[in-house]
């Protein structure tokens, strides 16, 4: 898909996987990049503006855990930029010591941004259709005992994605869900904090070591994701683990 006439919104694009996705979109010369993140003055935005002066880059400081902030942001986008073509919901956190925050960011943020994006993009109302990508995790398919709430939010994202993508062809929106395996990003930066992992000790540490988890780079996700914008079917779920992509299939919904 050529991105040169596309307006793309990415949440959580100031770090890790979202950052790599934004970089890859910029390299592909998209028309407009809209970034939603929680920082007041993120350095990456100024750097990108310097590096890509021909691309329109807009930043909105938004806490995706707060529905009213998402609503106001999408209203401002509709007023200033009109309709979006692609929305990538990537913002997420990991910290079992604050399960309410994790539910609100990881799940509330994805659901809230998806519903606002649908309002903006649906072709049967005022939009032109488009693509909505939601970032789940491999732990949305195989939960982990050390991060039960995180695993629950990532399972829920897949359920939400499969539901919202089914039987809604009138909207002209393609929904894609991505489930990355362990990826080298700052997501785990507070891993030493008490309670960060649930009921963690020697036994769980040994289990994790025995699992021999392989790390991948965020860039490998970004490159594949840009390709999938075009190639993936509506409702599809994609795993990228140890830098290898595979499609995860599910039974078709009944209603």
Would you tell me which residues interact with ligand NAD (CB under 6 A)? 11-12, 14-18, 37-39, 62-65, 90-93, 105, 135, 137, 180, 182-183, 185-187
For residues 29 and 61, which CB has a smaller minimum distance to ligand NAD in the complex?
61
226 contact partners, CB below 8 Å, separation of at least 6: 3, 21, 24, 25, 28
Quote the least distance from Cβ 42 to ligand NAD, whole Å.
Answer: 8
For residues 18 and 130, which CB has a smaller minimum distance to ligand NAD in the complex?
18
Instruction: Give every strand in the sheet of 236-241, ordered side by side.
Output: 56-61, 32-37, 7-11, 86-89, 130-135, 173-180, 236-241, 244-248
Instruction: Please give the structure tokens belonging to residue 116.
Output: 């606002």
Instruction: Please give the structure tokens belonging to residue 218.
Output: 């965020």
Quote the least distance from Cβ 167 to ligand NAD, whole Å.
Answer: 26
For residues 8 and 93, which CB has a smaller minimum distance to ligand NAD in the complex?
93
Quote the least distance from Cβ 86 to ligand NAD, whole Å.
Answer: 17
Rg over alpha carbons for the chain, rounded to the nearest Å, is 18
For residues 8 and 105, which CB has a smaller minimum distance to ligand NAD in the complex?
105
The DSSP 8-state label assigned to residue 232 in this structure reads S
Quote the least distance from Cβ 251 to ligand NAD, whole Å.
Answer: 24
């Amino acid at each position: 898909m050529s991105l040169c006439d596309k307006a793309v919104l990415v949440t959580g694009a100031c770090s890790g996987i979202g950052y790599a996705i934004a970089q890859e979109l910029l390299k592909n010369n998209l028309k407009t990049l809209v970034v939603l993140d929680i920082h007041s003055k993120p350095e990456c935005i100024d750097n990108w503006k310097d590096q890509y002066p021909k691309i329109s880059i807009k930043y909105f400081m938004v806490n995706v855990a707060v529905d009213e902030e998402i609503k106001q942001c999408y209203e401002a986008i509709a007023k200033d930029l009109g309709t979006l073509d692609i929305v990538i919901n990537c913002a997420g956190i990991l910290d079992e010591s604050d399960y309410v925050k994790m539910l609100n960011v990881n799940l509330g943020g994805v659901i809230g941004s998806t519903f606002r994006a649908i309002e903006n993009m649906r072709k049967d109302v005022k939009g032109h259709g488009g693509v909505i990508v939601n970032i789940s995790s491999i732990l949305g398919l195989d939960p982990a005992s050390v991060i039960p709430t995180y695993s629950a939010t990532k399972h829920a994202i897949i359920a939400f994605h499969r539901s919202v993508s089914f039987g809604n062809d009138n909207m002209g929106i393609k929904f894609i869900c991505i489930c990355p395996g362990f990826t080298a990003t700052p997501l785990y930066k507070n891993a030493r904090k008490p309670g960060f992992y649930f009921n963690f000790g020697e036994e769980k540490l040994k289990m994790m070591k025995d699992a021999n988890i392989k790390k991948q780079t965020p860039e490998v996700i970004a490159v594949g994701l840009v390709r999938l914008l075009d190639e993936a079917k509506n409702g599809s779920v994609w795993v990228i683990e140890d830098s290898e992509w595979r499609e995860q299939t599910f039974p078709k919904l009944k209603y």
